[in-house]
Chains A and B, each alone.
Chain A
């Protein structure tokens, strides 16, 4: 065995004499870092890098089979899923790896923000990191396009529709994005080039730069309240700290990175194994319109924002907000490059992270069940609770049929089933008088279309009569107080009220 070792060392030395890379790499790996940074809080950057490597490896492997042609991409994914041995698993790993990568990158971002790591002298490291985040999201979007299914097709339509709103050059931008007049073959190939060549190239180059700066400037020390960053003294203080408490990055600190990276890889594999690959959903045939397109998880919050913005604000917000957000992130380290690093002395920073996280979380949650969207098959699929039909007159039951037939259920739920776009109708007679219901149905308003053209008078009567029966037991029907004053009569009991 000693002979083997000797031989191995000789081979290494032969290469080292010619390459000269071994020593600088070993030196870089063994460089001293402040002992406080050997923390489980410092593992996210390396985990993101490991996930990038996983994505590159799985991506290249998928590239062996994937066909970037609009006519065949979808079938090649089906082929990967069902015919190629373990193709489904590679697709699942690539998909879950992407979700994990976005999550880890966001956690890394929040961590370095809360630890003040963007302050002097690491401003540029942060700025490069912002671009890495954007590129990661770019990979997620273009990757979703390469999964050339219905969601991808209509997602491209959403992208093109957003771009078309850019003043003056919108039309040219749409053409540039689609590569032609419609979403088709040239669209997929340019997203393929983006996803496979351009963005990964930039990503790898910028990760290299990011890492180089981490090595050159040293990892951010664990912040302490009251330890103020000042450009005049920081470098000296950091060197002193490293000298006094320094430990070798490899192996003293890096073992935590390695364990975490292994855990993340295992988690990706577990998710891939249990949940399988993402889609593809239906084939990218635009003539199949029975679809409810939805973006991937990372973009659900944008989908929700687009549903809730008032129409007049939409275009300005779409183009001004991203500029402001990215601009603020890029300027942050330049504006606040000195001062306190510790989170306990930066309440605004903590509040910002909390508010942004909660906001994104809520919007994403809303995006998972899209309460703003009509449920297209609710009118044929969802039943009316039998209790709402018991002891009802034929006219009222006719109204219940009309409620179904006129697709009211697509937007209004009854008995907990149906669309969430409009208010639930279970207690409508408790909120609105018969006259108000008639007016609302015929004229619409408040985000409801007018049904005056879709209902004839007898249908309106039946529908409204049924609606006036919908109120919780022991709760009075809504009544018009002014009418009561005029007629000085009791308000009509809801189920039997005269028209």
Chain B
């Protein structure tokens, strides 16, 4: 682009500032490109650039901290209560305190989910968040549907997509039964990028939830339970 084009003639009149007479010979000499001062100024720019780059590391490290977290580090086992609290053949709302919270989270640290007890030891635990845009789905036992209030996504009782804008079924939490207690692997908001169920949970904190009484389950025991759970998820 022609520089004249990109720098249009200023239209306001008083743009011819009073700097003109200042540009004397002496001032021009001050700005000769090869003087020692000019070199030192360039050096100072370089030094500041280097310091700036170093400063950028902690700033961006701090800013991007949440994004750089390991995916698995937020997930752990959370108790939803006794198995007997979920009658067979029914789908009930359960809530749990998110395993990762801050002291000022208030009610937002409580997360709901839908627990479907099909039969025996077979459970399904669905995320509350619609797979479309994360709104809270509601269970309608008579029509055996989950309905989303935002854009009308509908899911069948097994979480499969029934109709509406969602492209997939409800997100499902990985779960296990420890003694008498139902536990799920939770911690992150379920979205398309972070599926709730992870094939193997790395952190085993049994008895985390205050509601269940199954404290102190050792790791081997938990692993023993896993296949049982895996089979019931079918």
Query: Which A residues fall within an 8 A CB radius of B?
Result: 27, 31, 69-72, 120-121, 153-154, 157-158, 160-166, 170-176, 178-187, 215-218, 231, 234-235, 238-239, 242, 283-287, 289-293, 303, 306-307, 309, 311-312, 314, 372-374, 376, 379, 405-408, 410-411, 421, 444, 447-451, 453-454
Identify which of A69, A182, A291 contacts B149 (C-beta below 8 A): A291
A453's nearest neighbour on chain B, judged by CB, is B144
Q: Report the bound CA distance from A153 to B111 in whole Å.
A: 12
Chain B CB count within 10 A is highest, among A292, A303, A309, for A292
Do the beta carbons of B66 and A292 come within 8 Å of each other?
Answer: no
Is B221 part of the contact surface with A, judged by Cβ < 8 Å? no
Contacts of B129 in A (CB 8 A): 157, 161
- The reply to whether B98 and A184 form a contact with Cβ atoms under 8 Å apart is yes
Stretch of B19-27, B33-41, B100-108, B210-218 at the chain-chain interface:
B100-108
By a CB distance below 8 angstroms, the chain B residues around A218 are 11-12
7 A-B pairs closest in CB distance: A71-B106, A164-B191, A449-B162, A157-B134, A170-B193, A121-B8, A171-B193
Known contacts A157-B129, A165-B192, A407-B145; decide if A182 and B151 are in contact (CB<8 Å).
Answer: no
Q: Does B31 contact A (CB under 8 A)?
A: no
The listed residue with most A CB atoms (<10 A of its CB), out of B5, B110, B163, B189, is B189
B105 touches A164 (CB 8 A): no
Q: Please report the C-alpha to C-alpha distance between residue A238 and residue B10 in the assembled complex, in whole angstroms.
A: 11
Given contacts A286-B112, A287-B110, A373-B150, contact A171 B194 (CB under 8 A): yes
Given A217-B11, A286-B108, A307-B151, answer yes or no on A183-B189 (Cβ-Cβ < 8 Å): yes
**How many angstroms from the CA of A235 to the CA of B140 in the assembled complex?**
69
Q: Closest chain B residue to A407 by CB distance?
A: B143
Bound: A157/B108 CA distance, A: 12
Q: Of B104, B128, B136, B165, which one neighbours A307 at CB under 8 angstroms?
A: B165
Residue of A nearest to B191 (CB): A164
On chain A, the residues within 8 Å of B111 by CB distance are 182, 286-287
Size bin of chain B's contact surface: 35 or more
Question: Which among B46-54, B68-76, B118-126, B223-231 touches the partner chain?
Answer: B68-76
Cβ proximity bits B124-142 to A, threshold 8 Å, 1 near / 0 not: 0000110011111110101
Do B152 and A307 have beta carbons less than 8 Å apart?
A: yes
Task: Tell me if B232 counts as interface (CB < 8 A to partner A).
Answer: no
A180 and B149 contact, CB distance less than 8 A: no
Task: Indicate if the CB atoms of B109 and A184 lie closer than 8 Å.
Answer: yes
Cβ contact within 8 Å between B101 and A184: yes
A120 proximity list for chain B (CB < 8 A): 8
Asked if A160 and B134 make an inter-chain contact with CB atoms under 8 angstroms apart, the answer reads yes
**Closest-CB distance, B129 to chain A (whole angstroms):** 6
Chain B nearest CB from A346 CB (Å) reads: 22
Nearest-CB distance from B71 to chain A (Å)? 7
- Whether B193 pairs with A165 at a CB distance below 8 angstroms is yes
Given known pairs A170-B192, A449-B154, A450-B162, the reply for A286 and B133 (CB within 8 Å) is: no
Asked, given contacts A70-B105, A158-B135, whether A178 binds B189 with beta carbons under 8 Å apart, the answer is yes
Interfacial chain A residues near B193, Cβ < 8 Å: 163-166, 170-171, 173-174
Of A121, A178, A182, A421, most buried by chain B (CB within 10 Å of CB) is: A182
Q: Complex: how many Å from CA A80 to CA B196? A: 38
* Residues in A whose Cβ lies below 8 Å from that of B110: 285-287
> B152 — which chain A residues lie within 8 A by C-beta?
307, 372-374, 411, 421
